[in-house]
Amino acid sequence: MPLDKDGYFPSFRGSVNTWECDDNAHMNVQFYVARASDGAFFLRHELGLAPSAIRASNRTMIALEEHYRFHRELFAGDMISMRTRLIDMREKTLVVLHELVNEGTGELSASVVAVSASFDTETRRLVPWEADTLAKGRALIGPLPDYAEARSVKRETRLADLTLAEAEARGFIEIYRGAVHPQHCDQFGHMGTQHYIARYSDGSGHLWQGLGLEKSRLIAERRGSVVLEQRLNYIREVLSGDILIVKSALIEVAPKTIRMCHFMFNGETGLLAATSEVIAVLLDLDTRRAVNFSDAERARLETHIRSVAKVA
């Protein structure tokens, strides 16, 4: 596939559907992740891992981490496209940049820097890239632009490997409890990336409620909660039939932003399946601008700050 003048290749083209928008009236975060997942298919193709090659070799690529910066809102009816370039190619992993663009305005809506790995679908283990894949990837490498660099949430790191019991002992807030159904899983047999962040997003109302900012009051005041920056880490595979519990913690409060962490656990084993670190704000739904917390709200939020560090 030909590269554009900046060294990117096209990896998605479509539109924002009404059913992809949430109660803030803009495209929900899970569909940004879904678009990055679509882009990964075309990345695999560029690396010689076309669908037919994957089926024949039992070798593919899976996500280990995704770092998102949300630059501008997308709304129902917006035309969107994505372009992709390699940033680094290592023995078993690679770093890739996806840029989601509003085709109507030409503006960048989101940038995604993902770490993915070579994966054997039979042994369920990470393995080195084949020499041909490695060569093709290294020919596509370009620089990471400043606007895609991590700002407030670090890349290529992850939260402590806590257990469900440890999260409960620290008073983390339960925001989700449910099961993994076959339609949530991809062709490699595990839960697709969209469905991790969908659970965090669906549970956000429970988190704000648990922090003392009642959802009903936010709605009445025309305020919504939105994410500015987020890192997702995929730690242990999640399979169809698994039961999941998400516990979340507030770790930092600023005049306009909060930093929170999500821990997704396998409800049967109590082991950590995935984590996410997030910078979020409250959005004025009329002006579409972030607003400060009141002094009373900040004081209330600060009583809920918890440690997410591992204790020896």
In whole angstroms, how far apart are CA 3 and each of 86, 213, 245? 12, 48, 42
Phi, psi of 195 (to 5 degrees): -85, -10
Is the per-residue pLDDT at 144 higher than 90?
yes
Instruction: Enumerate domains of the chain plus CATH numbers.
Output: 1-149 (3.10.129.10), 151-312 (3.10.129.10)
279, 206, 272: which is closest to 245 by C-alpha? 272
pLDDT digits (tens, 9 = 90+) for 155-187: 999 999 999 999 999 999 999 999 999 999 998
Q: What gap in Å lies between CA 57 and CA 116, rounded to an integer?
A: 18
pLDDT for res 1:
65
CA distance 34 to 48: 22
Residues of the chain with pLDDT > 90, as a percent, come to 92
Structure confidence at residue 155 (pLDDT): 97
Q: Are 33 and 194 in contact (CB under 8 A)?
A: yes
Condensed to tens digits (0 to 9), the pLDDT of residues 196-229 reads 999 999 999 999 999 999 888 999 999 999 999 9
Q: What is the pLDDT of residue 310?
A: 81
pLDDT at 215: 86
Residue 18: pLDDT band (50, 70, 90) is very high
- Give residue-wise pLDDT tens across range 301-310: 999 999 999 8
User: Is residue 2 pLDDT above 90, yes or no?
Assistant: no
Q: Copy the structure tokens of residue 71.
A: 């630059």
In this prediction, residues 236-249 reach a mean pLDDT of: 98
- The mean pLDDT of 125-141, rounded to a whole number, is 95
| pLDDT the model gives residue 58 | 87
Amino acid 4: pLDDT: 83
Whether this prediction's pTM lies above 0.85 is answered by yes
pLDDT score, position 55: 87
Tens-digit pLDDT profile for residues 83-104: 999 999 999 999 999 999 999 9
Nearest to 83 by CA among 10, 33, 137: 10
> How high is the pLDDT of residue 31?
98
pLDDT at 40: 96
pLDDT greater than 80 at residue 292: yes
The predicted model gives 229-252 an average pLDDT of: 98
Quickly state the pLDDT bin for 114 (edges 50, 70, 90): very high
Among 176, 284, 274, 290, residue whose Cα is nearest residue 228: 290
Q: Give pLDDT, residue 312.
A: 58
